[in-house]
Amino acid sequence: MELKFLLVYRGGVVPDDQLDRNVNELWGWLDNLKENGYEKVRFAGSGRKIISQDSINDYSGDLFGVSIIEAGSLEEVISLTSDWPELQYGGRIEIVEAIGD
For the chain, the structural domain boundaries read: 3-97
Question: Which residue intervals of the chain are DSSP H helices?
Answer: 19-35, 74-81
At residue 81's C-alpha, the angle toward residues 37 and 22, to 5°, is: 100
Domain 3-97, second-level architecture: 2-Layer Sandwich (3.30)
SS3 16: helix
Per-residue pLDDT of the chain (101 residues; tens, 9 = 90+): 689 999 999 989 999 999 999 999 999 999 999 999 999 999 876 668 889 999 999 888 888 889 999 999 999 999 999 999 999 999 999 999 998 76
What's the pLDDT at 100? 75
User: Do 93 and 29 touch, CB atoms closer than 8 A?
Assistant: no
pTM of the model: 0.86
In the Cβ-directed half-sphere of 34, how many Cα atoms lie within 13 Å?
11
What's the pLDDT at 38? 95
What's the pLDDT at 44? 75
